[in-house]
Structure 1
């Protein structure tokens, strides 16, 4: 190197530092690429994404290639820096070269390019993918040998490169990912997608209409009363029974009765022709499973039964769809007759209100694994029938029983956080 001028050596040193910056920045960029966006772009035909995806399929070879190049240029830079500073400062230049080059490589060859690669991975990764694809062909045997030795070392510690897991997401991870989409997905769509994910965890008894609130048509009633029930019900489908719900005959779609009624031919006999066989749903079924069952059986309403065949409640296809898209006709929490906001920050809640609905509307985290309604949760918590005015704390909320009727909690006052209740204590 004695024949080379100082300017050539300095220019070569700067080039080597830039190459070190390229290796460091491109490594960070490739490793921080969003794998799902990368897969999407590759499927869309993006050339750079396809090359990057192919490189990342064998990270051991890619890392080996990057480190091979980075270490080579760093060693060359160290040698050149020593030569340059020895020409300038003599023997003392060795120490100066070590300090100056360390600082230069740290700033310009590591920190700055790695930060840039982390902030803008795609801008750097796509061009780098072309470079590394070509380098792999040139330095293939050497990279293969380095990967073979490093993989052999990893096997001694029980690590197998080919057995590395994929990038599959769990339900909770996907829910978190949806929450981080920001403005890319509207809040409404996020809520719908999360509702779909929650179908697997929720059970039919979580959203069913309980038996005591079920309407229906009693065939033992006189015909005029049956007609009044048909004319006044807000529902399009009703169960049909004799005497009590323990003797279900079937279900009827009231819309099928309209053409018959318009012709003036609606009688008990023609009514019975429209009654369909009842469709039963076992308790404990997930909403996801039941949605598929409704689709397969071409049904829109089912009667939920326990292991003994007793009727527990009623569930419809609309009930499940509302868990995804929100309620079609019901009012928001501020106007809901079941959840009434109060001036002190509390809410008066009907005891039969489902816990899932309370959690969804008020943002609470009341447990739903042992009870389905607020009344059931209070009774489960106390293991006895409470008295009006009794207060208890559950899942960060304060609940005050305000009305008892028919051995159940008919109404309760709920403070979503303990701070609100503490402020009201006498």
Structure 2
């Protein structure tokens, strides 16, 4: 009877240690899964627990080291006491019984149960455990620092990477957006919009510019009345003016300036001095980042720029609207995708213009065709085929089937695309 009562204390201590083990396991899971953005917002609102959570997660190596040290200490101590108790009760078989019983208890009550609850309520658990975990970190930090030094030496000797981020913050944000989209928390339009903001640092103006062959330009030598008529029937509000050679851009005609001049001329277009009302052209290098170009547009209060290459040759033009569309996307109605140059044929088959940008196609169809080596769909086919295809040829690249429908000289103008059955 006395011996039985003598086992109560160690058994009670074992259960207390199992509770502590569950506390450490749940705390580790909660503090690694907690939403740092939500904690930051709570801290700004004056939540002290959120401030403690942010301070703990700011040094993840220190935090995890202290929690693992505490968890292993209580687990080892609990296992040792259990072995002592079972040896006393069952003799030599006590070690086997202790191993089996402690394995079940540790897995259920110290690992699976607390971690499952912490994963379901990471923010709530993290806020609750922030104060005791901070005390644990303070107590164990000297030991953890020594252990970390030993671990770093071993990892460096093995040639393993022990410092430096693997992904940039932009990549992490993009990954979170894609993850929430897959889980249904972010709709496609929102994902595309947020991704478009991040892409502004990775794209240059030549990725989205209007190519020079698609630019509507006016010849300054054209009689004023005819030139004004051409400008008024054009759908564009800003039109480049050239003299002699189309490469020789001498100005930009703005529809508002033209309307004002026409009013002052009493409605007679022949009296308008087009050269006099034209604005000076603004040229930008094709290698300018989109984010930088957007900031320049804002600073100069301009909406229109001509793009040139390193030799000063005209490559195209870019507008403020082009950059904004990279963020908000093309305007769609409630039924059809209205991307210019993309027409559905049904059953997952589409007709596309060769000049359609790959980025617009990817955004419209939620595909992921690469755009590193080519800007347009035609450019992608030529790059992958390593030749200029003939009409009727069919290719399959990156899980998509391309059928060439029309070619003019060396340019692919129209093709049919669909997901490849292979």
Query: Which residue of structure 1 lines up, in the alignment, with residue 16 of structure 2?
Result: 15
Aligned to 1:391: 394
State the partner residue of 1:374: 377
1:402 aligns with 405
Residue 157 (structure 1) aligned with residue 160 (structure 2): no
**Match of 1:417?**
419
Written as runs of structure 1 = structure 2, the 5 A alignment for 1:227-242 is 227-242=228-243
Tell me how far 1:83 sits from its aligned partner: 6.5
Q: Corresponding residue for 1:319?
A: 322
Distance 1:27 1:246, change over 3 A: closer
Task: Flag the 1:386–1:268 CA change in 2: closer, same or farther, 3 A.
Answer: farther
- Mark the CA change 1:256 to 1:397 in structure 2 (over 3 Å): closer, same or farther: same
Distance 2:334 2:279 in 1: 32
Distance 1:64 1:309 in 2: 58
- Find the aligned partners of 1:271 and 1:331 in 2 and give their Cα distance: 43
Cross-structure match for 1:175: 174
Q: Does 1:54 align with 2:55?
A: yes
Distance 1:296 1:178 in 2: 30
TM-score, normalised to structure 1, is: 0.81
Instruction: Confirm or deny: 8 A CA contact 2:353 2:413 kept in the other structure.
Output: yes
Instruction: Give structure 1 stretches of 5+ with no counterpart.
Output: none
CA, structure 1 residues 291+14, in 2 after alignment: closer, same or farther (shift >3 Å)?
same
Alpha-carbon distance change, 94 to 294 in structure 1, aligned in 2, over 3 angstroms: closer
The 1:10–1:402 alpha-carbon spacing in structure 2 relative to 1, beyond 3 Å, is closer
Q: How far apart are residue 147 of structure 1 and its match? A: 2.5
Are the structure 2 counterparts of residues 112 and 345 from structure 1 closer, same or farther at C-alpha, using a change threshold of 3 Å? closer
Partners of 1:333 and 1:361 within 8 A in 2? no
Q: Which runs of 5+ in 2 are unaligned?
A: none
Cα shift at 1:207: 2.5
**1:193–1:50 Cα change, 3 Å:** same
Of the structure 1 ranges 119-128 and 265-274, higher mean CA displacement relative to structure 2 is found in 265-274
Check if 1:216 corresponds to 2:220.
no
406 and 329 in structure 1: CA distance in 2 versus 1, 3 angstrom threshold:
farther
The aligned runs of 1:13-52 (5 Å cut-off) are 13-52=14-53
**After superposition, where does 1:282-293 map in structure 2 within 5 Å?**
282-293=285-296
Range moving further from structure 2, 392-401 or 151-160: 151-160
| Alpha-carbon shift at residue 157 of structure 1 (Å) | 2.2
- Which segment drifts farther, 299-308 or 25-34? 25-34
Structure 1 residue 48: deviation in Å? 1.9
Q: Is residue 349 of structure 1 aligned with residue 352 of structure 2?
A: yes
SS in 2 for 1:302: strand
CA displacement at 1:58 relative to structure 2: 4.6
2:104 is aligned to: 103
Provide closer, same or farther for how the CA distance between residues 190 and 91 of structure 1 changes in structure 2, counting only shifts above 3 A.
closer
CA distance in 2, matches of 1:159, 1:56: 24
CA shift in 2, pair 1:392/1:77, >3 Å: closer
Per-residue CA deviations over 1:51-101 (Å, capped at 9, x if unaligned) read 233334455654555455445544554565466557766776666445434
Supply the RMSD in Å over aligned alpha carbons. Answer: 3.6
Whether contact under 8 Å (2:339, 2:364) holds in the other structure is no
Matches of 2:360 and 2:48, distance apart in 1 = 48
Q: How far 1:251 sits from its partner (Å)?
A: 0.4
State whether structure 2 residue 251 is matched by structure 1 residue 250.
yes
Could you tell me whether the CA contact under 8 Å between 1:362 and 1:416 is conserved in 2?
no
- SS of the residue 2:312 aligns to: coil
Q: How many aligned residue pairs are there?
A: 413
Distance in 1 (alpha carbons) for counterparts of 2:237 and 2:94: 92
Q: Is the 8 A contact 2:34 2:123 kept in 1?
A: yes
Equivalent residue for 1:264?
Answer: 265
Q: How many angstroms does 1:181 deviate by? A: 2.7
Q: 1:5 to 1:280 in 2, by over 3 A?
A: same
Answer yes or no: is the 8 Å Cα contact 2:67–2:136 preserved in 1. no
Give a deviation string over 1:215-250, Cα, whole Å, max 9, x none.
122221122211211221111111112244222110
CA distance in 2 between partners of 1:90 and 1:370 (Å):
73
Kept in 1, the 8 Å contact 2:232–2:255? The answer is no
**1:136 deviation in Å?**
5.4
Distance 2:321 2:25 in 1: 55
Closer, same or farther in 2 for the Cα pair 1:29/1:330, shift >3 Å? closer
Counterpart in 2 of 1:128?
129
* Aligned mates of 1:272, 1:16 — CA distance in 2: 88
SS across alignment from 1:285:
coil
C-alpha distance 251-147 of structure 1, shift in aligned 2 (>3 A) = same
Residues 31 and 370 of structure 1: is their aligned pair in 2 closer, same or farther, counting only changes over 3 Å? closer
Distance 1:357 1:94 in 2: 67
Q: Is the 8 A contact 1:218 1:240 kept in 2?
A: yes
Q: Which residue of 1 aligns with 2:297?
A: 294
Look up the match of 1:225: 226
Match of 1:308 in 2: 311
**Cα pair 1:25 1:114 within 8 Å, conserved:** yes
- The match for 1:117 is 118
Structure 1, 208-217 or 64-73: larger mean CA deviation:
64-73
Q: CA deviation at 1:280?
A: 1.0
